[in-house]
Amino acid sequence: MGDTGSSLMPFRPPQHLPAGYQTAHARKRAHDRERGTTAQRGYGSRWQREARRYLQQHPTCACEECRGLIVPRPAQVVDHVIAHKGDPALFWNPANWQAMAKLCHDRKTVREDGGLGHPTPPTLAEKGT
Ligand SMILES: [Zn+2]
């Protein structure tokens, strides 16, 4: 009795950082995460509800390609015809919505990102040749 304690004593927790640093850092990260999810959830739950109702009224994809199909793809997502870019007026205006199949929506998103969001630098490669 009493001997066993001495083998445990030498270890002391490392303290590389000032105590305040880690908590402030962790707090900021938690805050960012929380802000992100609450915004998404607050925004998202209403949007989920509205989108679901819209899809019940517009059960098939409204994209150009599907409109030409005899059997259109079933719509799974509600797309904004004009990119809302965070503008609530565009975001919540049903006139700016269209039902789309996920597949078609993803394709449209890629096209828009490539064309508008990140325009490809013109003819950089051509200059080299
Ligand atoms: Zn489609």
Distance 102 CA to ligand 1 centre (A): 8
Query: 45-78, pLDDT tens digit by residue?
Result: 899 999 999 999 999 999 989 989 999 899 999 9
Contact criterion met (CB below 8 Å) for 84 and 76: no
Average pLDDT over residues 85-99: 94
Least confident of 2-11, 42-51, 102-111, 113-122: 113-122
Least confident of 12-21, 80-89, 99-108: 12-21
In a 13 Å sphere around the CA of 42, the CA atoms on its Cβ side amount to: 6
- Token match 């994209």: residue? 63
Give the predicted TM-score (pTM) of the model: 0.54
Cα 75 to Cα 52: distance, rounded to the nearest angstrom: 10
Domain boundaries, the chain: 22-118
Distance 65 CA to ligand 1 centre (A): 6
Distance 32 CA to ligand 1 centre (A): 36
Distance 7 CA to ligand 1 centre (A): 70
